[in-house]
Amino acid sequence: MFARRLAGHLARGLVMILVVTTVSFFVIRSVPGDPMAARYEKLVEQGMSPVAAQRAVEVLYGFAPTGGLWQQYVDYMSGLLRLDLGQSLMVPGVGVSTVLFSAAKWTVLPVLAGTLLSFLVGVVMGVYAAIRRSGRLGDVLAISGSLLHGVPQYVLALLLGAVFTTLLPILPTSGTADIMFEPGFNAGYIGSLIEYATLPVLTYALASYGGWILAMKSSVVTVLGDDFILAAELRGIKRGIVFRYVARNAILPLFTILALSLGMLFGGAIFIERIFNYPGLGLMLIDGINNRDYALMGGAFLLITVAIIVANIVADLFYTVIDPRVRSGEGAA
Amino acid sequence: MSVTPEKKAPGVRVSGLSVVYRTSAGELPAISGIDLDLVPGTITGVVGESGSGKSTLALSLLNAVQPPGRISAGSVEIDGLGDVVKLRGEELRKARGRHIGYVFQAAQNSLNPLKTVGKQLLDLGRSHDVADLRGLVREAKDLLGRMGMDGARVLDSHQHELSGGMRQRVGIMLALVLNAHLVVLDEPTTALDMITQATILRIVREVHEERGLTTLVITHDLGVVAEVADRLAVMYGGQVVEQGPTMEVLGAPRHPYTQGLLRAIPRLVGDIDEATALPGRPPTLGTIPERGCVFRDRCVLRMDVCETEKPPVVSLGASIALCHAVEAAADRDGRADIPRAGGLQEVVGAQGATGVHEVRGEQP
């Protein structure tokens, strides 16, 4: 049962990856501006012979594309089969996977921290907003949630950046760590890392907090209206136990959203990274696009796709653990 | 029976009970000034259309009227508990489940979908400080077994693995397992098929007799009442318009509403057109008349006095009705015994344990 479910997911995931890779391969290469051709023409203009210019370009980038677009596509796909994402153009001579990997650590940890932080706080506040929905506390929580949910990430980032550079200059607003510390596993460097990550994490958490509180509030309100909650109260079940009934049932639908937003880990923080000059995947992707680094773009898109597919699979399998209705495969609504 | 009930069936006296619901148009009465006695050891049926206030009445017995509703007047005296309306907090919580069992409508999902029945049984036991949880499980299995189910399997199941009839029996088990002696069943057979309906009613009757309970059955189905109830209360527009021994109320209905209800039932044999629907619609929360009789708009016996005066309580035989026309007819016949005093007590005396079997005997 479990294995068959997993196998089905994997098969669908592979098809999805194939489609996304193919589409992004051709879309990326239809963007005007070929960096190798540009470099080659520049060298020729500077008086180099065509052959010498071609060789110079090859030396610079470490490889030369051969054949037409279809030939390149076949080469690219067969490279993917060997988990080879190709060569970066922006950082000549370096593999795309190396570039991606070095940038990913600056995205995954802060975004993960921001997501989990906002999830925990948002869910707890959502419960309060639901229970106190006819009082002032509920109003304040719901309205603040709606406001934060409505403000775009980059506005929040600019706002926080402005506040912490002018009014309250206690937190660094650019970079990943103070250069006076030796990178490595030492207290000073790690402390500095945390200090520099605070604003990006805080911005990300604030930007997603509104969504969590609103989702949890409506979920709790729905469950509170369910018959089995009244039934439990009429059986004299203790308040604490009834509360757990409500919480467990209400949080179920939020796990789907959580899994999907974890899938967005690799592509979700472009504005924040740009504004706080944080060298994560988002920033790298922007540079890659500006430099027409085809392989890097393709690799980044592939990474995002795989992450989302994996998140979906994890969410679905997680459900079979936490929701008995899914487990037995006859899910009554 | 594995458990010998140390508690006796409690009597319940509802008097002057009113419940209002807060709406944008102010507080509107859902039930107003209800007097109803549940005689110890009997099954009382409450029938009425949707919106007649019967579920509100049932919830009032546990002081569990849900906001925006609230009990605005009256009392619900239960032997051994006192006035439930005055109970608050932990006292109230402990009374629910332990003293008063409540069974939900089958179509409603009265179980937590994420937990097995057994785990919810343990939650129930812990909530009521049951020291012997193993004994509780044994008792639950015993009850389920007597209702024709595999107790161990059911306790190991989630709600979605049980059929409507099984869920309903689980609901009955949870209402009885703490040895509650007042049991309220809200639409116990709605949304169940005929066979399951009959089974559930048989179980209700059996358990009631074996455990010596006081039982209240809320339903819109006169057939259900005829099947199980010793006594019957007919509700309309938030009031009990007629009550008495089931046989008497169904056999010789006094109130024009009860008469209309009985005329509206299609028979299994004979012409379908013999059943005549009551004209008009029942009042809703906002359209219940403030003065006079709540039923007058649909009444064939309507008189001028019905517009302005609250109907009097008329006792006839063992039953009572709230109606001007019934009073006028009784005056003509010269056998009215107004005022109401003592009416219900007489009913108790007249109502033997055999009453229900007589009713059953009349069922086709």
Both B276 and B356 in one domain: the answer is: yes
For position B352, what pLDDT does the model report? 37
**A234 at interface of B, judged by CB pairs closer than 8 A:** yes
* Cα dihedral B168, B171, B175, B179 in deg (nearest 10): 80
Q: Which residues pair with B100 in a beta bridge?
A: B96, B182
Q: pLDDT class for A110, splitting at 50, 70, 90?
A: confident
User: What are B182's two structure tokens?
Assistant: 């007042």
Residue A264 lies in a domain: yes
- B93 versus A70: the higher-pLDDT residue is B93
Least confident range from A143-147, A314-318, B44-48: namely A314-318
User: What are B327's two structure tokens?
Assistant: 């009073």
Total structural domains in chain B?
2
**Could you list the residue range(s) of the whole structural domain that residue B159 is in?**
108-179
Q: Is omega for the bond preceding B339 within 30 degrees of 0, making it cis? A: yes
Cβ contact A324–B160 (<8 Å): yes
Mind telling me how many Å the CA of B103 is from chain A's nearest CA? 8
Residues from chain A contacting residue B159 (CB–CB below 8 Å):
228
Q: pLDDT class for A1, splitting at 50, 70, 90?
A: low
Q: pLDDT class for A262, splitting at 50, 70, 90?
A: confident
* B175, closest residue in chain A (CA to CA): A235
- Tell whether the model's pLDDT for residue B125 goes beyond 90: yes
Q: pLDDT class for B101, splitting at 50, 70, 90?
A: very high
Residues from chain B contacting residue A225 (CB–CB below 8 Å):
none
- pLDDT (tens digit, 9 = 90+) per residue, A23-50? 988 888 777 777 777 777 778 888 778 8
Q: What average pLDDT does the segment B78-98 reach? A: 91
**Could you list the residue range(s) of the whole structural domain that residue A128 is in?**
108-280
Residue A181 lies in a domain: yes
Residue of A132, A235, A320, A321 to mutate when probing chain B, most B C-beta within 10 A:
A235
- Tell whether the model's pLDDT for residue B349 goes beyond 60: no
Burial B328-360 (b: 16+ CB within 10 A, else e): bbbeeeeebeeeeeebbeebeeebeeebbeebe
Residue A184 lies in a domain: yes
d(CA B182, CA B102): 9
Of A241, A322, A323, the CB nearest to B123: A241
Cβ contact B113–A325 (<8 Å): yes
Residue A294 lies in a domain: no
Mind telling me how many Å the CA of B71 is from chain A's nearest CA? 16
At which residue do the structure tokens 């796909």 appear?
A: A77
Residues from chain A contacting residue B216 (CB–CB below 8 Å):
none
Mind telling me how many Å the CA of B210 is from chain A's nearest CA? 22
Least confident range from B2-11, B197-206, B313-322: namely B2-11
Mind telling me how many Å the CA of B127 is from chain A's nearest CA? 5
User: What are B108's two structure tokens?
Assistant: 């409603």
Both B161 and B265 in one domain: the answer is: no
Collapse the DSSP code of B78 into the 3-class scheme (helix H, G, I; strand E, B; otherwise coil) and give the result.
Answer: strand
Q: Which of B150, B179, B208 is the last residue of a domain?
A: B179
Residues from chain A contacting residue B113 (CB–CB below 8 Å):
228, 249, 324-325, 332
Phi first, then psi, for residue B14 (nearest 5°) are: -90, 125
Phi first, then psi, for residue B280 (nearest 5°) are: 85, -175
Residues from chain B contacting residue A321 (CB–CB below 8 Å):
none
d(CA B270, CA A115): 70
Half-sphere exposure of B349 (CA within 13 A, CB side): 6
Collect all residues from B whose CB is shorter than 8 A from any CB in A: 62, 64, 66, 93-98, 102, 104, 108-116, 123-124, 126-128, 158-161, 171, 174-175
Q: Which of B157, B179, B201 is the last residue of a domain?
A: B179
User: Do strands B43-47 and B231-236 pair parallel, antiparallel, or not at all (unpaired)?
Assistant: parallel
Cβ contact B98–A236 (<8 Å): yes
Q: Which of B179, B200, B235 is the last residue of a domain?
A: B179
Residues from chain A contacting residue B115 (CB–CB below 8 Å):
245
Cβ contact A234–B128 (<8 Å): no
Do the Cβ atoms of B133 and B122 come closer than 8 Å?
A: yes
For position B44, what pLDDT does the model report? 95
- Tell whether the model's pLDDT for residue A136 goes beyond 50: yes
Of A233, A241, A324, the CB nearest to B64: A233
Q: Which residues pair with B232 in a beta bridge?
A: B45, B244
Residues from chain A contacting residue B123 (CB–CB below 8 Å):
232, 237-238, 241
Total structural domains in chain A?
1
User: What are A106's two structure tokens?
Assistant: 């600056």
Q: What average pLDDT does the segment A106-126 reach? A: 90
Q: Where are the beta strands (DSSP E) in B145-196?
A: 182-186
Residue A102 lies in a domain: no
Residues from chain A contacting residue B127 (CB–CB below 8 Å):
235-238, 241
The amino acid present at B193, given as its one-letter code, is D
User: What are A30's two structure tokens?
Assistant: 């239809």
For position B337, what pLDDT does the model report? 45
**A236 at interface of B, judged by CB pairs closer than 8 A:** yes
d(CA A79, CA A76): 5
Q: pLDDT class for A117, splitting at 50, 70, 90?
A: very high
pTM of the model: 0.78
Q: What average pLDDT does the segment A170-178 reach? A: 79
For position B336, what pLDDT does the model report? 46
Q: What average pLDDT does the segment A115-128 reach? A: 92
For position B106, what pLDDT does the model report? 65
Q: What average pLDDT does the segment B16-30 reach? A: 90
**A333 at interface of B, judged by CB pairs closer than 8 A:** no
Residue B139 lies in a domain: yes
Residues from chain A contacting residue B94 (CB–CB below 8 Å):
236
Residue B8 lies in a domain: no
Helix H or strand E segment including B66: none
Both B155 and B252 in one domain: the answer is: no
Mapping DSSP onto H, E and C, the string for A257-286 reads HHHHHHHHHHCCCHHHHHHCCCCCHHHHHH
Residues from chain A contacting residue B102 (CB–CB below 8 Å):
231, 234-235
Least confident range from A239-253, B94-108, B245-259, B344-358: namely B344-358
Residue B301 lies in a domain: yes
Instruction: Walk across the sheet containing B231-236 and list its strands.
Output: B100-103, B182-186, B214-219, B43-47, B231-236, B239-245, B319-322, B313-316
- Tell whether the model's pLDDT for residue B345 goes beyond 50: no
Mind telling me how many Å the CA of B168 is from chain A's nearest CA? 13
CATH label of the domain that carries residue A144:
1.10.3720.10
Residue B47 lies in a domain: no
**A325 at interface of B, judged by CB pairs closer than 8 A:** yes
- B79 versus A55: the higher-pLDDT residue is B79
Spatial CB neighbours of A33, under 8 Å, sequence gap ≥ 6: A292
User: What are B197's two structure tokens?
Assistant: 């309906």
